[in-house]
Amino acid sequence: MNFGGVEENVVTRGEFPLSKAKEVLKDETIAIIGYGVQGPGQALNLRDNGFNVIVGQRQPSASWDKAVADGFVPGETLFSIEEAAQRATTIQYLLSDAAQIDVWPRLKQHLTPGKALYFSHGFAVTYAERTGIIPPADVDVILVAPKGSGTSLRRLFVAGRGLNSSFAIHQDATGKARDRVIALGIGIGSGYLFETSFKKEVYSDLTGERGTLMGAIQGLFAAQYDLLRSKGHSPSEAFNETVEEATESLYPLIAENGMDWMYANCSTTAQRGALDWWKKFRDAVKPVFADLYEEVAQGREAQRSIDSNGKSDYRVKLEAELLELQESEMWQAGKVVRSLRPQNA
């Protein structure tokens, strides 16, 4: 398929329908290892699509309880991580990156010849010298990475839509890896699938999360909000002009038809200003993105994540950092603004 003059390998539901995916995986038992961020969405979508799905999760844990609440039955479709891995022919390794490192010594003994090891992030394999995760040579190693959270994957599936995903084959031991990975991508509810590699997936993903998806956008929001407040604008005005109008009005227009269409459907004053200023912002942040990508490519960003997320007090420190965001004036103002939306009145 052609994207702006560049050919890419894309698989659509029309080319690879659900019926074909079910035929490819009809004899497979798919174990979802981990029921945290991606696990629930992928497990429920696969189950609803008619695949044989079991869940592996440590007990006791909130995630185990969530799996039970979602209809997975202990001893029938819900097991310990080790038992689920032993029972499965395809193991979807959906624990956090830090947890994957910790569990790997126990999981790898269940990777018997012919099985498939599935990831939704290229982190573990790409940075194998740091994670220690080196799959045996006689299993398929594949990836489907939804371009969004597990929550979004599930919500779009329930709404009859789909979240686009990338796919990759790191190792094809059986000769069936391609059909397997595409079938799984269709099974979890992907809108369409585009091919990548484990390395490209993790490089783009880490850059995106720290960039326009989360880190950079929070930085831009904070910079504009703080400026407006320093110039005497009220919290409500500063938040509405910085966040609310973007997320509730303009970003949906971009999602609908693109940035050019959004520009064309704004006032001529807004058009002129946006066209005059966007390149200044691009040029200002380009060096930051270049630094970010280099940190990712050299593995230093991965190592920081491993070092931080593997500490026993990680959750406590994370909650403190998230609380700082939550208690900031901007997001406290946002809480009030959201409560005043007509549908929440």
Give the type of residue at 70: D
State the greatest distance between any 2 C-alpha atoms of the chain, in Å, as a whole number.
67
Pull the structure tokens for residue 168. Answer: 């990759």
Cα within 13 Å of Cα(90), Cβ side: 28
For the chain, domain boundaries: 2-196, 211-344
Residue 192: pLDDT over 70? yes
The band of 231, judged by pLDDT with boundaries at 50, 70 and 90, is very high
Residue pointed to by tokens 């490209």? 200
Q: Which two tokens stand for residue 16?
A: 């690879």
Residues 42 and 187: beta-carbon distance below 8 Å: no
- Is the separation of the CB atoms in 100 and 76 below 8 Å? no
Q: Does the pLDDT of residue 163 top 80, yes or no?
A: yes
Question: Is residue 133 within 8 Å of 124, Cβ to Cβ?
Answer: yes
Cα(323)–Cα(319) distance, integer angstroms = 6
Please report, as a single letter, which amino acid is at residue 110: H
Structure tokens at 206: 């880490």
pLDDT in tens, 83-104: 999 999 999 999 999 999 999 9
Which tens digit of pLDDT belongs to each residue from 23-78?
A: 999 999 999 999 999 999 999 999 999 999 999 999 999 999 999 999 999 999 99
Cα–Cα distances (Å) from 121 to 92, 95, 167, 204, 212, in that order, read: 11, 10, 10, 11, 18
State the Cα–Cα distance between residues 325 and 273, nearest whole angstrom.
Answer: 30
Mean pLDDT, rounded, for 193-211: 97
What is the rounded distance in angstroms from the CA atom of residue 39 to the CA atom of residue 57?
10
Mean pLDDT of 223-247: 97
How far apart CA 246 and CA 240 sit, in angstroms, is 8
What architecture (CATH level 2) is domain 211-344? Answer: Orthogonal Bundle (1.10)
**CB contact at 8 A, 101 and 124:** yes
Encode pLDDT of 277-301 as tens digits.
Answer: 999 999 999 999 999 999 999 999 9
Token reading at 113: 């010849």
User: What φ, ψ does residue 310 adopt, rounded to 5°?
Assistant: -90, -5
Catalytic status, residue 121: yes
Closest CA to 57 of 82, 38, 76, 89: 82
Q: pLDDT value at position 344? A: 47
CATH architecture of 2-196: 3-Layer(aba) Sandwich (3.40)
Q: Over 80: is that where the pLDDT of 345 sits?
A: no
* Reported confidence tier of residue 311, pLDDT bands at 50, 70, 90: confident
Exposure class string for 233-272: b at 16+ Cβ within 10 A, else e: bebeebbbebbbebeeebeebeeeeeeeebbeeeeeeeee
Q: How far is CA 123 from the centre of its chain?
A: 12
Residue percentage of the chain with pLDDT more than 90: 95
Task: Give residues with Cβ within 8 angstroms of 73, minimum separation 6.
Answer: none
Mean pLDDT along residues 263-286: 95
